[in-house]
Amino acid sequence: MIKNPYKKLFFLLTNFSIFLSSVIYVHAQGATNIVIKDPFNLGNNLYDLVYAVLNQAVLPIGGVIVVLMMIYSGFLFVVAQGSEEKIKEARRSFTYAAIGAAILLGAVAIGKAIEATINAFK
Q: pTM of the entire structure?
A: 0.60
Contacts of 72 (CB under 8 A, 6+ apart): 93, 97
Asked if 78 and 45 sit in the same domain, the reply is yes
Asked if 58 and 110 sit in the same domain, the reply is yes
Parent domain of 68: 40-121
**pLDDT at 2 (0 to 100):** 55
More confident site: 21 or 105:
105
* Mean of all residue pLDDT scores within the chain: 81
Is it the case that residue 70 has pLDDT exceeding 70?
yes
**pLDDT at 71 (0 to 100):** 95
Asked if 45 and 101 sit in the same domain, the reply is yes
Q: Report the number of distinct structural domains present in the chain.
A: 2
More confident site: 1 or 105:
105
Asked if 111 and 75 sit in the same domain, the reply is yes
Task: Please state, in angstroms and rounded to a whole number, the distance separating the CA atoms of residues 53 and 72.
Answer: 27
Task: Please state, in angstroms and rounded to a whole number, the distance separating the CA atoms of residues 52 and 112.
Answer: 13
Residue 86 · residue 110 · CB < 8 Å: no
Asked if 10 and 62 sit in the same domain, the reply is no
